[in-house]
A and B are shown apart, each in its own frame.
Chain A
């Protein structure tokens, strides 16, 4: 025996329609509405003072054009609607048509009028919206306390199965890099790390500039970390051995060695690397490095000023949130230096099943210490110095170059740099059923 699921409320509509006009040909769109559907006598918001039509016009049946938005609001009977739908399909002057919806201010409790009426009739108590909100909050609070936080966080994630494909690493699949039409062509990506294996066979013939900021060491990677990170950010489209593991396969690689072969470095060398990358007009500066911070610790004012200047000059700095957490034991460490600067994008690590990596740091500290975005950082396969050639490791260091490579894809496609590029990464990320403390806005997604 089955019961009917509760009906999902359908949006109320007004009977009018919104027609999205091609904003490069608004007049021609209006002409099309007139020719095909017989809609005439448009009012234009541009004719009203402050472009704000009077309330009478908004509720009247007169067709109205919002000139600044490129949208027309019109009454359409079923025949006219069909004509407009055909015009949308067959012309370039009309983009879409959809029913106008009834929208209520949330301060009214977000309830439809009939429901509110029914409530007032059926329940003789004088229930205010404020009372209902208080009741709701109390219940939510109670539920939050009764259900362990881990279960809440698991939620959707528990349902997510692993994905795999012999042609691509799981990180490229989860970020939709495998289907992106972009390659980072013409974009310079600086990776400040332990250098690079300049003789790696997967990178022969690639545009590559390298420089060492470590005294007594060349840019040749004697560690492996830098080669792995560059592999993820900029690895080839068609490596001789599958799977593909690199994002921006046509980007120009700027390998700055700011960490020694033993994996150590200091602010002076890292700042020199940033200075070098900006001078070379690198749109993206990838830094899979960090020093732990204490709870309550503020960010570096020097790095923040540097990061702001970098953004102004068209260079986006992306850094690892750090690996100091031990979430299996409930320990979440704050975002590392310098990823904790407000103007540096802090990257957390997630796994193939879209769960926060147990080591990934969280937004514990205020003042910019939040996680901004998440990327694949568990069991990440990428390049490694020869003769090993490939290695699979985990860390926010591995998540960071996923974001950096994807930033290069956006930079190529849209021409965006600095703060605008930052916004595009954030706006297009995939929201997750996880806390923003742990994953920021969610999982970075490649432009298609």
Chain B
């Protein structure tokens, strides 16, 4: 199954245990890329059918699929 990129926000009451939560995220099937303790977010990838299990990990506030952004071409008059 193709991996999807996800962003996970950590609940307020687990912010100081973000590394423990990250370990649990790995156990739930997430490939962790970055742990951002300043904003309480973990980014990475997972199989689409593992996302609901990841959302159940204690200390997880929200799980969202990563969105991408695209600017218009630099010669476009509207940016």
Contact = CB atoms under 8 A, between A and B. Distances in A.
25 contacts: A225-B71, A225-B74, A225-B79, A263-B73, A264-B70, A264-B71, A265-B68, A265-B69, A267-B67, A270-B69, A271-B41, A272-B43, A275-B36, A275-B39, A301-B62, A302-B9, A302-B61, A302-B64, A306-B40, A306-B41, A393-B78, A393-B79, A394-B79, A395-B78, A397-B71
B71 to A, nearest CB: 3
B28 to A, nearest CB: 17
Which size class do B's interface residues fall under?
Answer: 20 to 34
Report which residue of B62, B69, B78 has the largest number of chain A beta carbons within 10 angstroms of its beta carbon. Answer: B69
A267 B66 contact: yes
Interface of A: 194, 223-225, 228, 259, 263-268, 270-272, 274-276, 278-279, 288-291, 300-302, 305-306, 309-310, 313, 323, 337, 359, 393-395, 397-398
A224 B74 contact: yes
Nearest to A398: B79
A259 B71 contact: yes
Given A263-B71, A266-B5, A359-B78, 12 more contacts: A223-B71, A264-B70, A265-B68, A267-B66, A271-B36, A271-B41, A272-B36, A278-B39, A289-B69, A291-B69, A305-B61, A395-B78
Which 6 A-B pairs rank lowest in CB-CB distance, beginning with the nearest?
A263-B71, A395-B79, A301-B62, A275-B36, A268-B43, A302-B9
Contacts of B9: 301-302, 305-306
A313 B38 CA distance: 9
B79 A290 contact: no
A291 B71 contact: no
B67 A337 contact: yes
A270 B36 CA distance: 12
Contacts of B40: 305-306, 309
A223 B74 contact: yes
Contacts of B38: 275-276, 278-279, 309, 313
A290 B67 CA distance: 10
Nearest to B10: A305
Interface string B1-32: 00001011100000000000000000000000
Contacts of A291: 67-69
Nearest to A380: B79
A266 B67 CA distance: 6
A288 B7 CA distance: 21
Nearest to B68: A266
A300 B64 contact: yes
B49 interface: no
Given A268-B34, A394-B78, A263 B72 contact: yes
Contacts of A278: 38-39
